[in-house]
Every structure is written in structure tokens, then in C-alpha cells.
Structure 1
Amino acid sequence: MRIKIRSIIPYLWFKFNTKQIILFIICLVIILIDIIININKWQNRFKYSNKNSKLLYLKTNELNFYNDPILSQRQFDIVLSYYSEDIDIVAQYIRYLKNISNIEKLNPRVIVYNKNSNINNQVLKLLLDADIIQLLPNLGREGGTYLYHIINNYHIIANHTLFSQAGVEGITDRGLADWYFDRLEKQFNSSVGYMPLVTNIMISNYDCDSHITGNFPRMSQLWAMLEQSLCPPGGQAVAFRGQFLVSSKRIQNRPLSVYKYIYDLITANSSHWLHRDLRSLIFKSTPDNPIFGHVVERIWTILFKCFKSDLHDRCRRRECACFDES
């Protein structure tokens, strides 16, 4: 049966009264205005970012490879792995972290590892208001960065270290997302041994190395190496995305040799046998993005002994931490 368009219009008009139509039009106008405002904000931010991005790529040999030494232990370090993320958003993220009262009282030190040799380290340090900046080769994803920091500061590692990618999850225009803020402000204290800093949907249980989203056979081998036993069935909590907070006690509970071994694997050159591990037909493992890096992203809970299968439920109840023994 064919319906004529002319017969539909009167039907719609009578179906919705004049008040409803006016309200609908007003809502449309408000939505359009909101879209225009947000587009302007985005354009302004993009222009500002472009300006700072140009500064980052200043070519001065001495400054490009400027490195700060880490000489002492602190109460709280913020360690970021940076490549080419939006400099203004990263700077904003650092400000948000430092302004959390629970963190601010610990006088946090900001350490940025830059993995982009084209970027001027001195300018990057200035724009991010960082305390320490170091240049690293672009190897091993963020996991390689974190392991490098642990290995080179093992004996003077901060009481607590917040490890994060510069492309952070959990930031808004107004501040940290509610779940992120709550963990640092309400759930963190000096007894925390490990705390994942990702949304609850990124915390799930693996059956050793098997998961509905994909399998990582090397995980069960790492379990065996770390725990000196076969990986038991029943589920191990995994928090992926590479954002977490860990204590010096948890780090130093593992021997330095363990971190060195994993670091050598994650930063291996292209001829290493690990790059021949298959994840999918389209994924190519390379030194800057090794498939093993995705495995390491999923073993922090195991490495720092916070892998009980109730982790997701505890995070949902706002008890998202494993605690050190006093």
C-alpha cells in the first residue's frame, strides 16, 4: 500500500500539539548552539595546541637531548610515558593530579619519559611543568618505560609511584573523572600496595591466558616464572591500559633480575623470536609496538600481587586497592 507524503504531514501535525512542536524546536536550537560552542572550543584548543606543538619541535641539539638525573627518593612520584600526545591535555592532567589534596600533601614529583627524539626535552619539561625529564628510545610501549624507571631507580624508588600513559583515560574538561578522583582522594593511603587506575570495565578475570577479548599465551608462562607454580584455573584479575599506583614495598618484593628480564624481552630487536608470536593476521609485532607489550600491560596485577578474582567487585564497591602488611 502506498502512502502519500501529503497525507502524512497533517497526521503528524495533529499527533503532536503546538506546545510539543515548539518545545521540540527549542530543544533543537539549544542542541545546535551547544554544538557550535563546542566546535569553537575545539578549534581554539587545536590552535593553542598547534602553537605549543611547534615549540616542542625546536631544533637545538643540546636541548633536544637534555636529561635530568634522578638522585633521591621521594614520597610520591608521577611517572608519565610521553610520545606525541596533546601537550595541553597532558599538562592539564598533571595539574589535576597535583591538585588532589591527598596527593598534594605528599609534594609529588613529576617524571616524564619522552620517547620521541624529535621533541625538545627542555621545552617539553617547561610546558608540562615537570621536575625531571629523560629521553628514551621508542621501544616496548609504556611497559618498557615503567620497567626502565623501576630498574634504574630500584633502590631509591618512591614510597608510591603513579605510572600512566600520557594519553590518559579518566580526564574531563572539569577535572579527573569521578572514579579516578575518588580512588586518589578517598581510597588511597600510605598502606596501599597496588591500585589500578582504570575504569571498572577494564578490570576483568582471565583464565590464566585466555579471555573472551583475546588470548595471550605468554601470560601463563610469566605467571609460572613469577609465582613458581603452574597458573591455576579459576580466574586472575587483570587491569589493562597501563595506569596504576604501586608502593615501593610491592616493587621491591620482586628481585631486580625479574624486571631486567622482562625489560630485555619487551625492548627486544625485530629479529627476536617474541615478535613471531601471533595475535591476529593483521597485527605486526615491532620493537616500538611489540605484541609482548600487550602481555606486559596485563601482568601488572600479577607482578604486584593484586590478582584475586574479586578485584572488579571491590572496585565497584569503591575498595579498589590491595594493601601492604604493616
Structure 2
Amino acid sequence: MDLDFNKDQLQIVVARYSENLEWLNEFNCFATVYNKGETTVEGAVVLPNIGREGHTYLTHLVRNYHDLPEYTVFLQGSPFFHMEGGADCAKLTETIQECMTKKVPFKGFAWFRLRCDRLGRPHQMADPASKGKWSGWGKDIPVGDVYDKLFNRTPPQQFIASAATGLFIVRKDRILTRSLEFYKKALSIIEADPYDEYNTGHAFERLWQIIFNGSKAINP
């Protein structure tokens, strides 16, 4: 199944570190790859290895704010692990096609949703298998604090994250509801914690659905 759209309608942004991108061959005409790994990728935009995928996504939005297609898909370099069982390129294509045909404003692609408090709890940040993989291992996730910095208002007691794995599609008007200055501010918040020592990048994974919810009332 091929995507029945053009580049003015769709762009796929991929945040890569070391993942094999052979799966992306089917989407090449729509794809922009940002590479943070030591291995090179032909045609990719090179970024410093900081800020997790949130840094990649926000960098893309800041650089392309005035030249966005109708829909942007944001993906990690190996997206299928967190999608519904059996997910592959065909399933991803089908999901994107359906979202665009039905004019869906925002959709997370993970097979699950997360409900958490202001500290990202419950979470698995102290999973022994992940020890040493990043500086913030074992710490809580500052979801409430990052929300406060982004929107200048008291955070809710609970959050429901529908794009917790950083895999989602968003419509242009939802992106543009927030100002360019908002995305620059969000990027600066991530850049202030470049190696995720305080789990700022993980906090953004729990806030994408709010960032793109279309509400002007909390747009600073």
C-alpha cells in the first residue's frame, strides 16, 4: 500500500541514533532523517547527540515552522517495537493514510497510553536493565515541572500520555496553534538538560498530546 499524498501534504521526520533504516526505504520521498549517531546516513541532517528525540523534533519545528506540510509524522529510528503487535511498514502506511484521509488532528502510534502524576509515576526509570544508559537513570520524570515551564501555569495532578513513545502524527494547524517562540522555548528547556540528567526528554514524551492539543488558552 503506497501513500497517496505528495510532499506538500506529508513529511516524515525520523530521529536516528544507530538504528537500521532499511524500513524507511518505502517512505524515502517523504522522509527527513536527523542523525545523532557515529555512523553516517546519506542525506541525513546531522545533530549533536543531546536531548533524546524531543530535541530532534523541536529542532525540526523551529527550523521549518514557516514551511510545514499538511501533516508531519514524527518517528524514532526503530518505531515498530512500541506499535501494535505485528506492526510493520504496511501497517504504518495504513495508519498514516487513515489519519490523513479522516483529517485526524493528532494521534500517537504506540499500542498503549500512560497515566502518570507530576513526577511521571508510575514509571520504570530504575529498571536494572537500563542502568547506566543515561544520566537520569533512577530519577523521577519532571512532567509537572516541564509543563509549568512550557505553559506558565499550575500543572494538573495527572497526565494521560497518548504519544509516550515519541511516535505520532500531527496536523499543521495543531502545530501552528503554538507560536515559533513557544517551540524555541521548548527547545531551550531540553537543551538545558542535554544528557537527560533530570529526565527532561522523558517528560516531553508525556506532554506531546498537550503541546499539540490546539488550545490557545495555555499558549504563552
- Number of equivalent positions: 191
Q: Distance in 2 between matches of 1:174 and 1:243?
A: 13
Separation (CA, whole Å) in 1 of partners of 2:104 and 2:86: 28
Equivalent residue for 1:84, pick from 18, 21, 26: 18
Q: Which residue of 1 aligns with 2:78?
A: 167
SS of the aligned residue for 2:58 comes to helix
Give the direction of change, closer, same or farther, for the CA distance of 1:292–1:223 in structure 2 (3 Å limit): closer
Distance 1:140 1:190 in 2: 33
Please say if residues 171 and 177 of structure 1, whose CA atoms lie closer than 8 Å, have aligned partners that are also in contact.
no
Q: Name the CA distance, whole Å, in 2 between partners of 1:147 and 1:113.
A: 12
Query: Residue 39 of structure 2 aligns with which residue?
Result: 119
Measured after TM superposition, the shift of residue 216 of structure 1 is 4.8
1:245 CA drift (Å): 0.5
In the alignment, the residues of structure 2 paired with residue 288 and residue 219 of structure 1 have an alpha-carbon distance, to the nearest angstrom, of 17
Post-superposition Cα deviations, 1:127-155, rounded to whole Å, max 9, x if no partner, equal xxxxx521111111111000000000001
Give the counterpart letter for 1:144 in structure 2.
Answer: H
Q: Do 2:146 and 2:203's aligned partners in 1 also have CA atoms closer than 8 Å? A: no
TM-score, structure 1 as length reference: 0.51
2:101 equivalent in structure 1: 189
Q: How does 1:129-208 map to 2 (within 5 A)?
A: 133-169=44-80, 170=83, 175-176=88-89, 180=92, 183-189=95-101, 191-200=103-112, 203-208=113-118
1:56-98 deviations in Å (ceiling 9; x for gaps): xxxxxxxxxxxxxxxxx72100110112112xxx222441x57
Q: Does the CA-based 8 Å contact 1:114-1:134 persist in structure 2? A: yes
Q: Residues of 1 paired with 2:102 and 2:184: CA distance?
A: 27
Q: Which residue of 2 aligns with 1:8?
A: none
The residue correspondences of 1:39-58 to structure 2 (distance < 5 A) are none
Point out the structure with max Rg over C-alpha.
1
- Contact 1:74–1:109, Cα closer than 8 Å, also in 2: no
In the alignment, structure 2 segments of 5+ residues that lack a partner are 1-6, 125-138, 216-220
SS in 1 for 2:114: strand
Checking the alignment, whether the CA contact within 8 Å between 2:15 and 2:56 is kept in structure 1 is yes
Whose relative contact order is higher, 1 or 2, with alpha carbons under 8 Å and at least 6 apart? Answer: 2
Post-superposition offset of 1:236: 2.7
Whole-Å separation in 1 of the counterparts to 2:18 and 2:8: 27
C-alpha distance 289-186 of structure 1, shift in aligned 2 (>3 A): same
What amino acid maps onto 1:266 in structure 2? Answer: I
Cα distance in 2, alignment partners of residues 174 and 140 from structure 1? 27
* Superposition TM-score, scaled by structure 2 size: 0.73
Identity over aligned residues, as a percent? 27
> Which of residues 273, 280, 292 is equivalent to 2:200?
292
CA distance in 2, matches of 1:177, 1:213: 31
Q: Is the 8 A contact 1:93 1:171 kept in 2?
A: no
Equivalent residues of 1:140, 1:288 under 8 A apart: yes
Cα distance in 1 between the residues matched to 2:104 and 2:97:
13
Q: Separation in 1 of the partners of 2:87 and 2:178?
A: 38
Q: Which 5+ residue runs of structure 1 have no aligned equivalent?
A: 1-72, 99-107, 126-131, 269-273, 275-286, 308-326
Q: 1:254 aligns with which of 178, 191, 197?
A: 178
